[in-house]
Structures are given as structure tokens and as C-alpha cells.
Amino acid sequence: MLTKRLILCGFGKVGKAFATLLTERKHQVGQKYGLNLELTAVVDIGGAAVSKQDALPVNKLLSHAEKGSPVETFAGYGIPGISGTEVISNLKADVLVETTPTNLIDGQPGWGHMQAALERGIDIVSANKGPLVLYYRELHELAKAKGCHIFMSAATAAALPTLDVGMLCLAGSQVISMEGILTGTTNYILTRMHEDKCAYAIALREAQELGIAETDPSLDVEGLDTRNKLFLIANRIFEKIFDLEDLKVTGITGILPEDIEKASSDSKVIKLVGTAHLEKGTVTLKVEPQALELDHPLAAVNYSEKGICYLTDTMGRITVIGGKSSPVGAAAALIKDLIHSSLFSPP
């Protein structure tokens, strides 16, 4: 049985869903994959719960958190005021699981956590896009220098296996192009506008009420969330390091009801699509609303579902649709990456 000691940074919705799923699937993962996953530290805003020897009693910690009590007050394990970087720098561990909130301004605190982990030779499994998007080159080079690996399925459309399909299922093929509906918020809005002739503002408000869209939805509706996911997927699939400036981005805020009606009359449907196209060694990346023919595989991706479509030289076109958009879906992607980290290591 291979044991991996985990440090979890971030104990919000995704972090708690991860801890819960980790305990629920512990026996299954051990029996099926020969992998013993031990959570040895949980870091949150006010401090951490740390076990220097055995694994933390996760069920008790979750019960403690359900009462509204912070991790740093967990009896026998709590350390008030200690930072994630301090925990990572001083505790023996194999993998950092990063679920702190995505910060696209300076990437903190996840950026500091990831640097500290890689410096100590600790692998990273992340749901946090911020540091990966802002500092991909630096993280890639540091991981390579330290012999570490970074897994990011949960940061690239969560439960939708965007990277798994491109890297594992299509291994040995050349990806010529990929197209993805990578943000459930924008897809929900456009589906409502298409299916029910709903106005953009009404569809957006519905998405917010359902918890699909944030109070400030600009990251999604302006195409930036799709851009960030496309950026990460393309870097990994094409084994290149792009800059964010390489991506042309147009969101859906300018889509009018008449645009939807025009597409429908032409037997098309408008979707926000992130695309990467390889031609003569150059990869072109863009995010924009596209009027898709109804027989296009992504035309059937509706409401908050997502999808990705790869075109290859030997396997033809491969499309995957679905993936649960929720903290549990993201947590499941983290568990999957932990399993893959023992079976397969990306460059």
C-alpha cells in the first residue's frame, strides 16, 4: 500500500467537500488502487489543524467545522495564526492539495503555497486557477527543476475530464484542434436565451439565484473564466507555454435577442467557445461566441453543462460532455488527480 501524506490549504466549500469525499472513498481507493491517502494538515484563514505523526481524524474535524468552529481551535491539533507556507515548509508531506479561493490579481495565498511545496519536492493537486494562470511558466520551471508534478484537473472545468482525455486517452495522437464550452454560467444564460427567448439580464439573474453565477459575474460573462481554463489546457496539451496575451477574448455581454433569433433561423445555436487550433506549428487561441451548426457535438451542451471536443490526426474527433459543476464535482477531480499522481506523472 502506497501512503501519501496530504496538506490541504483552503477549507471552504471545495476543501470541505474534498475532506468529506476523502473519508468516504478511503477504503475504495485503497482497495482498488493500493493507495492510502492521509490528510495530515488542514490550513484555513486563521491557522491550521496539524498532525505531525498520524493522519488527522477527518470526521471529527468536519463535525467541528459544521458547528462553525475554525480549524485552529480543533482540540489537540489546532495551531492559531500559523500560515499555509509555514505548515508546508515544516511538515513532512507528499502532496499539497490547493483549494484556497482563486485570486487573479497576485495569486495569493495559493502562489506562496505552491512555491513552498515545490521547493520541498512536494507535488501539487490544485483546484485554484489563480497561481497557475498568473505564474504558469515559473511553476512549470520550478516543478521541473525539483522533479515535481502539478495536477490541475479541478482547475480546468472541474468534473469534466478535459485534461484526462487530451493527455491520457489521446496519447500518441496529434491534437489538431480543440473546442470547449468551459463555463457553465455563460452556457446557462445562452441556453435560456435560445430555448425560452429569455432576455440576457433575466437569464443572468436566474443564474445568480440558482448559485450558478457569482454576484459579480464579470469573470464568466466577459469570457475570462473560459480564457483561463483554455490557457491551462492548451499549455498542457500542446506542451508549450503561452502567455495570456496570446488569447483573443470576447464575452457574451454583447449578445442580443436578435442575434439568438438570427442563429436559430439559420439552424444554428450560439455558444461561448474556447478554441485552440494548430497549423504549421503555430497554435491560435481564442474565446468568442460562435454560431454552431446543430450537428456540431457542442451544440447539444445545454444549461450549466460543459463540453470539450478534440480533433486529432489518428483518432478523429472525440467529444466529452457533462461534468458536475459543484464543490463535490471539484472534490472528485482532486481525488482523481491524487490517484493519477500515483499512476501517471505529466511533464
**Distance of alpha carbon 132 from alpha carbon 146, whole angstroms:** 17
Nearest Cα to Cα of residue 316 among 200, 181, 177: 177
One-character DSSP codes across 34-45: -EEEEEEEEEET
Phi and psi based region of residue 113 (left: phi greater than 0; alpha: psi -120 to 50; beta: remaining) = alpha
Query: Does the annotation count 268 as an active-site position?
Result: no
**Distance of alpha carbon 2 from alpha carbon 314, whole angstroms:** 36
Which of the residues 4, 16, 129, 229 is marked catalytic? 229
Say if strands 268-279 and 175-181 run parallel, antiparallel, or are unpaired. antiparallel
- Neighbour count for residue 58 (Cβ, 10 Å): 18
DSSP type of residue 74? S
Strand partners, 37: 4
DSSP type of residue 290? E
Catalytic residues: 229
